[in-house]
Amino acid sequence: MSDALLVLNTGSSSIKFQVFRLHDDRLERQLKGLLDGIRVHPHLQVKDAAGAVRVDRDLGDHVDDVGAAVEQVLDVLEDELADGGLAAVGHRIVHGGQHFTGPARIDKETLAGIEALVPLAPLHQPNSIAPIRTIMKRRPGLPQVASFDTVFHHGHDELVDRFAIPAELDEQGIRRYGFHGLSYAFIAERLRAVAPDLAGKRVVVAHLGSGASLCALQGGRSIETTMGFTALDGLPMGTRPGRLDPGVPLYLMQQGWDAGRLEQMLYHECGLLGLSGISNDVRDLKKSADPRGQFALDYFAHRIAQETAMLATTMGGIDGFVFTAGIGERSASVRANVARRLAWLGMKLDPDANQADAALVSAPDSRIAVHVIPTDEEAMIARDTLAALDLPQRAVA
C-alpha cells in the first residue's frame, strides 16, 4: 500500500493540493500544488517540499470544470509519485450542518448528506463534491475523507448559535454554524507552540482572505464567530457583503428580483468589489488612485474592528489578536488600519515589525499581543483524514 496522502482544497476557479508522506511519527509534506484559472486560463504548478518547481504548465482548453481539474492533478501525481499510488484523499468541505460533527469517511450516505447542504453553501459545496465524484469514478477503491469547516465551532453556547426566530425553524437547522474552522483549529494549535502564555487566554483570530471572518478563542476553543448560517454573514469579503439587513433582499424581491439574481449579487457582486467598483483584490485597491479603493479598505478595517469588539464582549475582554490567511499574513497596511481602530482597546503595533510581516507585530507597550501566524488548512485536513481512517495521528513536518 502506498503511504501518500492527497489533500484537496477546492475553490470556484482553483484547486490547492498537497501530498504528504506517512512516517512513523510525522506527516511529511512532499508536494504542494495549485491549479488555477479553471474555465479561463488553466495553469498548473507543483513544487516539492523545498520549494523547487516540479511542474509548471498551461493546460489550454482541457479544464472547463473542477472535476476535469482533478483529473489533471491525478495525472500529474501518477508521474510525480515514485510508486504512482495514493493511500487516501482528504477533502475540505465548507458546510457540515448539524449532522457532521467530525471528519467522516466518504460513502454514498456521507456524500448524500454533503449534497443536501448545497443550498447553504452554493458557492463552495458543489466544488467540493465534484472532485469526490471524479475520484470515485476513477479510483473507486481509494478511501476518501471529508473534513468540515464547521466542526471546530460545534459546542457553542445556545446564546451564540440561535437566531431570534420561531423554535420550529431552529429545529430545522436554521442557526449559526461558523466557517473557516480548519484554519482556526490550526491557529489554536500553533498558538500553543509559538505563544503558550497566550494560548489559554482570550484571543481573536482574523482569517482575512477572499473569504473573511473572525473567531473568538478562549482556552483554545471557539466560543463565538462572525459567520453564521451561511458564509455570507459577518465581515465584508472580496465579493460577499457580510452582515446585511435582511430587509435588503426582501426589498429587492419586492422589486422583482428572484432567488437566482439575489444569489448572484450576494456571492459575486458585493464586498470589496461592490464598495470599490474596481476589484475584490486588496492588492489592486491599494494600488488604485480611485478614492473608492481606499474607502473599501477603510470599510473593511472598520468592520473588522467592530466585530472584534463584539467578540471581546462575548469573552469578557481580549488578551491577544492573530492575523492569518492571505490578507492577514501579507498586508501590513490592513493590519495597521485595523490596529488604529482598536487602539482604544489597547492595541498598538510596532511599525517596523508590522512592515516586515514579523511573527509578533505588537509594540512592547501594547496591552494586546498581536501575532501574524500563517495558516495551514491542508495540514488539518491531512490529520482529519488519518483520524477518520483510524490511523495514528502524526505531527506535520
Active site amino acids: 149
Query: Looking at the DSSP assignment, which residues form a beta bridge with residue 8?
Result: 17, 91
| Nearest residue to 102 (alpha-carbon basis) of 384, 375, 378 | 384
Q: What Rg value do the Cα atoms of the chain yield, rounded? A: 21
How far is residue 37's CA from residue 62's CA, in Å, rounded to a whole number?
Answer: 11
How far is residue 80's CA from residue 77's CA, in Å, rounded to a whole number?
Answer: 5
Number of neighbouring beta carbons within 10 Å of residue 173? 13
Tell me how long the chain is: 397
Instruction: Decide if 265 contacts 241 (C-beta within 8 A).
Output: no
How far is residue 15's CA from residue 33's CA, in Å, rounded to a whole number?
Answer: 8
Instruction: Decide if 234 contacts 227 (C-beta within 8 A).
Output: yes
Number of neighbouring beta carbons within 10 Å of residue 79? 10
Dihedral pair phi/psi, residue 395, rounded to 5°: -70, 155
* Grid cell at residue 184: 482556526
How far is residue 37's CA from residue 14's CA, in Å, rounded to a whole number?
Answer: 6
**What residue type is 28 in one-letter code?**
E
How far is residue 227's CA from residue 224's CA, in Å, rounded to a whole number?
Answer: 9
Parallel, antiparallel, or unpaired: how do β-strands 212-218 and 14-22 relate? unpaired
| Helix boundaries (H) for the chain | 66-80, 108-115, 125-138, 158-161, 167-171, 181-194, 196-199, 247-254, 259-268, 271-276, 282-287, 291-315, 325-330, 332-341, 351-355, 377-388
